[in-house]
Structure 1
Amino acid sequence: MASKTEVKDLLEAGVHFGHLTRKWNPNMAPYIYMERNGIHVINLYKTVAKLDEAKEALKKIASSGRKILFVATKKQAKDIVADKVSNVNMPYITERWPGGMLTNFVTIRKAVKKMAAIDRMKKDGTFNTLSKKERLQVDRLRAKLEKNLGSIADMTRLPGAIFIVDTMREHIAVKEAQKLNIPIFAMVDTNSDPRPIDFVIPANDDAGKSIEVILTEVTEAVAEGLADRKNDKQEEKKAATETAEAVAEAPAKEAAPAPAVEEEKVTAKEVKEEAAPVEEKKEKVAEPKAKKEAPAPAAEVEDLTKIEGIGPKAAEALNNNGINTYADLSKAKADKIKEILTEASSRMAHLDPTTWPKQAKMAANGKWDELKEWQEKAKGGVE
């Protein structure tokens, strides 16, 4: 459980200092405590409440396995964000925000892949075959890409959320996230408009100490979410191992008492059938054999985890509700699948099953190459 934020810590860091009263945004009125010497003072009790709410939401997103993109290009925030966020292995932008970073994510991924291609050239010796001028040009391009996009090299798909320091400065990032319905978390000062922000943290976004104390709280919540995810995976692995061991031991346990039971049955029959006619004996012996020779047909279960977005737990939830094959999944409606997942576990409520029936149809028809190609495009950020 994330530790509760103390008002005293925020007060010492100067989180309560807003902008000049003449620069205020009227929509920030609910978060302003008072005006002192021509400067607005932020209500830190509301800051604590909003910060705790944001921490809980970020923890859930991190535990679901989605990335959280941190954006802070102002001078006093760059180093703080790079230091704090790199500790939790999340992507961040501290240089210029590249236009279309989210709305044109496929192109941004191409630039990141170009950086990886240059690295491969240096490893396989191709780089040394270039002229001196060409090598200089390639090195400059690599340095430029590293500076602007190096911190998002591991972000292979759109982030699950975006955290912004100073929404006035990063207004383009806010608009792109709004367009794609990506949850926005932000430090919002008294001169900013809080309406486009999903999780507002009213705070001083100009002082380094203020930014540091908020980022420390936020990254700790993200770290807790990642730790929960790691623990869940270990528990799943442990449970799977125990299940496999139990299945392996089951036949041995069941086989031991079997001979004794059969002997008792034969003995009982011999006692009862001594006075019975031979034909009746044959019929009685034949009946159990007929029952043994007609076992109930086992339901066919296909590996649904081959569908992009379906994990072991989601597959188990679908199987429990009668969706065992790709054909079953292709006929199911997304709303119904969402309902099944949510009922099975609140941790799966974030999953989006919109494309699962479409993928399942390709799998059911044996179009595996087409399905793989579709999944590669989806991972790149587009369907």
Structure 2
Amino acid sequence: MILRNVNMVGSNKPVNIRIEHGKIAEITIDSDRMPHEQNQFSFDKAIVFPGLVNSHDHLDFNLFPQLGNKSYNNYTEWGKHLHAEYHNEIAAVLQIPALLRSEWGMYKNLLCGITTVVNHGERSGLKNPLINIFENSHCLHSVQFEKNWRRKLNNPVKKSIPVNIHIGEGIDAISSEEIDLLIKFNLFRRKLVGVHAVAMSAKQAEKFEALVWCPESNYFLLNKTADINELKKHTRILFGTDSTLTGSWNIWEHLSLARKTGLLSDEELYHSVNKTAASTWQLNSGGIIEGLAADLVIAKQQENQTGLNNFFSTTPTDLLMVIHNGGIRLFDKLILPQLPETDLKGFSQIYLDGACKYVKGNLPALINNIRDYCPDANFPVTAKELVQI
């Protein structure tokens, strides 16, 4: 596959990208050097960037509406209020089989240009997912909610893999103290990847391999987010959406909010969803470099926008193509004339805010299956048909 005439984010010079065996094989500004093979796509006024890495989501919790109606001191207070006040809403979603909920969680991420999502919780069970479902960490929920967390933390069989855990999700002393407790009982000095860390101090951050910043979730629950501009001096900062229980389905809205805080520079925020995240999770992706996995997103170039302004102005409707491991997972109707008819087999036609897209897999059937269990399930897309050829 060859992608022609795309501008890499941060550069105004169009390049051509050749993909072979799921990896980026060649990048050149000389179009004549590229072979004229069958699978090639030419773009006009388009940018290309690495597929996004969402470092925190709960795939099976993305059919929930946002639940909560006040600011809480910590996540345990929120959890108790949730089960006391929203029993019917929770029951309606939980009657949907977890595998169906996780499959929608995968699509939620794909529709935004996310090609790797770190799933927190039980393994999704998805077979042949369309994007990378990262589940190769030792996932603990939290100090408060994970039974026998000390023993699990110090399981010698798992000491070589990083621990992925909610920590410091609150604004009170209890939230800070649980961070100290986790550090104290990390007897094997395992690599810790903390999620949220709103109550974390700079000294505590030094004990963590990385932190996953989820500002929209933090503001919704706590009306406060982590002191990222200080914490970033002591550890890596990754970016996550959390589930729709506490935030929008759309990661671009999360990034917009994060950018407005000014707690990370544009470059730091950009790398939190690609290079920095890929390095932390040891992925062969996160950049547009020969030899890396061909996880790429092509989007419309915004009028009068340059550099990272162009990237942060992107919305899901702007996505022209999403590629994972060299395979097309989503494309815009504008690309249709460049695709052989046989290549459309197995794609669903969908509409997102009026924009026509084609996505791999039978998304209409998934939505119908979910609504068999929960007729009121809400989706940001209208799915029309599966292309049969």
TM-score scaled by length of structure 1? 0.22
Which structure's residues are more often strand, by fraction? 2
